[in-house]
Structure 1
Amino acid sequence: MPEPPSLAAIRGVVVHAVLEDLFGLPAGERQPERAAELVAGAFDRVRGERDGVDALVAETGRDTFFAQVRKLVASYYELEDPRRFEPHALEERVECDLAGDVPLRGFVDRIDVAPNGLLRVVDYKTGRSPGPLHEARALFQLKFYALMILRTRGILAAQLRLVYLADKNVLTYVPEADELDRFERIVVALWRAIIEAGETGEFPATRNSMCKFCDFKAMCPEFGGTPPAYPGWPGASAGSADLGMPDVGVSEDM
C-alpha cells in the first residue's frame, strides 16, 4: 500500500534540494539572496523526479509554495552561516551490516569534518522541533546515524544535529561508544521482532498521537476498518532496516 505524497513532504524535499545546491556554490556566493534564487531550479528538478508534484502544489499555488520554501531557507541562515565552512559530504548514502545479518542504510544530509578530524552529522527538518514527549523519537534517528558512522568509518562522531527550520531550533546529540553498543543491541532486537512479525503476519495496531496523520486509518481495526489480506513475507533476506530518504513523510512536519 504505497503512501500517497503530501505537500509537506514535497516542500521538505525542495528545501533539501536548495540547501544541497547552495553548498555546491563557492562559499562567497552562499548569500541568502542567492539561496532564494535557487528555489525555482530545485523545484523543477524535484517535479521531474517525482509524480504528482504539480497537482499538490496547485492546492496552494506555486507562488505561495515558493514563498514557504524561501521562508524555511531564510530560517536556516539564523541557525548556521554556510559561508563559514565547507561540508565534507552532502546527501551521503551510508550502509552497514550489524551482527546477526541486520542490514542498515540511510541518507545523511550533511557530514562536516573539522581540521582536527572531528566529525559532525547534520540533518535538516522542515517541521517544528519535538516537545519533550517526542524527543526520544528524534534521538533514535541520531543514534541510528551515529551507529552507522561508527561501523562504516570506525569514527565516533563528535556531534549529531537535527536542524529544525520551522521554529529555528537545533537538537544536538553527543554520542558515547558504550551507549551506541547498547543501541546496536536494541536495533538488532527490533529487527528480529520485525522478521518474526513478517513471518507470522502479526502486526498488532497501536493507537497513538500519530494516528491522525495516517493515510490508512480507514483500513485500521483500531478505527473499525478492515485491512487487506496479508500477502505473506518474501523472506528475511529481502528486507533491511532502513531509515529511508530524508524529509519524506509525516515526521518531517512534526
Structure 2
Amino acid sequence: FRRFPPNASSNFAALRFRDASRSGLGAFPPSEKRCSRERPHIRSGSANEAVYLARPRMNPVALACLLLLSLPQTMPRAVSRCFRPAWGPASRRRGLQPRLVGGRGGVQQLSMVAEGANGADQAATEQEGKKAEKPETEAKVVWEPKPLEKPRSLSPSALNDFKVCPLLFRFRHLDRLPEPVTPVLARGTCAHDALYEFYGLSRELRSLDNLQNLFRLSWLKAKQGQMSRNADQYKTLFATVEDERKWGLHGLQLLQNYLELEDPTTFEPLSRELPLVTNITADVSLHGIIDRVDVDDDGNLAVVDYKTGKAPDLKYGTAVNRKILDSKFLQLRAYALLLEENYGRAPTVLKLLFLDGPSLLWMPCNHDEVERAREEILVQWESILYRVNRQHFEPNVNRLCAYCTHKPICPAWQDDSSKPTQTILQSSSSSSSEAVEGQD
C-alpha cells in the first residue's frame, strides 16, 4: 500500500493498491485480512489499480471504501459506506460488507449495480436470493383541522405549491401532514445528490460512469437513512426487484441525458446547494437552497435548477406560453431575489435543466426581474394571510391531483376518488380575485 496526502477540499485519503501480479501478493479472497484496517481486496479485470477512498476521521472498523474502475484521482465526499465489486467484470452482483451497512444475516446487495459484460445494469436483491418485501399497507391519514397561524417563513417551493393548489399549501406547509416517499420523489432526491457530489470531483473525473455510480451510491445512502429519516420507506418502496431495477435504469438515463445539456469538464460552479434567507416583510422571511450558482469570466452569475421531470409543452398561444414560463421560472426568480439581497447583485441568467427530455430553458435576469419577483411574492403572501384569517384554503382541481398523496382527505374528492365533487373554487364575492390566484 502507498498512502497519498489527504485532499484538502474533501478530507479524503487515497490508498492505491498495485496489481497483485506486480506486488507479488497474488490473488486472495476479499474476506482475508491483508492490512491492519481490514480493507477488503478488490480485484478487477479491467484496471491495474484500485482506488480506495476513506474518511480518515472515521473509526477504522467502519472506514468507507469505494471502487471506481480506472480512476487516477480521489473522489471527494463520495460515500460513507463500503461498495465492493464481486469477482470478475461480468459478475451479476456487487456485495456490501454487512459490518458496514448493518447487515446481520449475510452479505447485503446493492441494487442497480455497475454494468456487466453485456452492458446492461443488473439488479440485486436486498438479501441474496430473496425478493424485496412488499411495502406494508399505509395507515389511513385522518385530517383534523386545527387553528391556523400565519407562517413565519416561505420558500420558493411553498409558493409554487400555493399557485398549484391553496389547500395543498395548507396540508404541506401549515398542517405539515406526513407524505410517503414515492418513486418520483426518491429519483429526484438521488439525482440531485449525485449531481451535487459530481461537481465536487476534479474535472477529469466528471464522466458518465462516475455520475451514474454516484446515483447508485445515493440510492444506497437513502436506504440506509443517511439522506432522510425515511429509510424504512425507501427500503420497501418497490414490491419487486424488477420494479426497483426499472426505476434505477430510468434514473441512470436521466443523468445520461444531463450530460447532453452541459459539458461538466469546462467550468467550475461557484456554489452548490447554496442556502440563503432574506426578509420579505417584518413578519415573514424567504428561504431557499439553490442547486447551483455559476459565474462566467466577466463575473456574471447564473442560477441553475435541476428538474427530473419533463419541460412544459409550449404549444399554445403566446400569452398562455408566457404564463406557463412565468410559473416555471417563479422559483428561480425567487432565488435571484435571494442572491441580490445577500450578495448585492442579481444573476444575469436563470436556467432550468429538465433531465427527462432533455431540455434546457433559460431566461435573462436583471434587477427589474428581481423586483417583479418581489412584487409577486408579496401578492402571494397577502393572499396566504387572507386565507389564514378566514381559516380556509380551498382546493384547486387540476391534472396534478392524480399524483397528490392528500387526495383521500381532499374535500374536492370525498365522494368518489375518480371524480371531483368540486371543480370551481368557492369564494365570497368580495374576494373572488384572491380565490383564483392560486390557480396555475
Q: Does 1:63 align with 2:245?
A: yes
| % identity of equivalent residues | 29
Deviates more, 1:66-75 or 1:41-50: 41-50
Asked if residue 141 in structure 1 is aligned to residue 331 in structure 2, the reply is yes
Greater alpha carbon shift after TM alignment, 59-68 vs 174-183: 59-68
Task: Summarize the alignment of residues 117-196 of structure 1 with structure 2, pairs less than 5 Å apart.
Answer: 117-132=299-314, 134-196=324-386
Does structure 2 retain, via aligned residues, the 8 Å contact 1:207–1:222? Answer: yes
Task: String of CA shifts for 1:150-180, please: whole Å, max 9, x gaps.
Answer: 1111111010101000011011021232232
Q: Aligned residue for 2:180?
A: 4
AA aligned opposite 2:292 = R
1:84 paired with 2:260, answer no
1:22 to 189, 192, 198: 198
Q: By percentage of residues, which structure has more helix?
A: 1
Contact 1:79/1:168 (8 A) holds in 2: yes
Inter-CA distance 217–181: structure 2 relative to 1 (3 Å threshold) = same
Q: Alpha-carbon deviation of 1:58?
A: 4.3
**Amino acid aligned to 1:135:** L
Partner of 1:250: none
1:122 is paired with a residue whose SS is strand
Structure 1 letter corresponding to 2:409 = M
Q: Per-residue deviation at 1:181? A: 1.4
TM-score (norm: length of structure 1): 0.82
Q: Is the 8 A contact 2:183 2:247 kept in 1?
A: no
Indicate if the aligned counterparts of 1:94 and 1:106 stay in contact, CA closer than 8 A: yes
- In the TM superposition, what whole-angstrom CA distance separates every residue of 1:110-129 from its partner, at most 9, and x where no partner exists? 11112321101111111000
SS in 2 for 1:38: helix
Query: TM-score scaled to structure 2, two decimals?
Result: 0.49
CA-to-partner distance for each residue in 1:186-208, whole Å, 9 max, x for gaps?
21121122123223311122222
Secondary structure, counterpart of 1:112 in structure 2? strand
Letter paired with 2:210: R
Q: Is the CA contact (8 Å cut-off) linking 1:75 and 1:165 kept in structure 2?
A: yes
Q: Which residue of 1 aligns with 2:287?
A: 105
Q: Does 1:204 align with 2:394?
A: yes
The residue type paired with residue 359 of structure 2 is N
Structure 2 stretches lacking a partner, 5+ long: 1-176, 315-320, 416-440
Alpha-carbon RMSD across the aligned residues, in angstroms, is 1.9
Given that 2:277 and 2:286 are in contact with CA atoms closer than 8 Å, whether structure 1 keeps it comes out as: yes
Provide the rounded CA distance (Å) in 2 between the counterparts of 1:64 and 1:208: 28
> Does 2:229 align with 1:39?
no
| Corresponding residue pairs, total | 226
Aligned to 1:204, what secondary structure does the other structure show? coil
| C-alpha displacement of 1:92 | 1.1
Q: Which runs of 5+ in 1 are unaligned?
A: 226-254
Deviation at residue 136 of structure 1 after TM alignment: 3.0
C-alpha offsets along residues 209-233 of structure 1, whole Å, 9 cap, x if unaligned?
22222222232222236xxxxxxxx
Give the Cα separation in 1 of the matches to 2:205 and 2:235: 30
Question: Which residue number in structure 2 is paired with residue 221 of structure 1?
Answer: 411
Q: Distance in 2 between matches of 1:193 and 1:101?
A: 14
Letter in 2 for 1:222: A
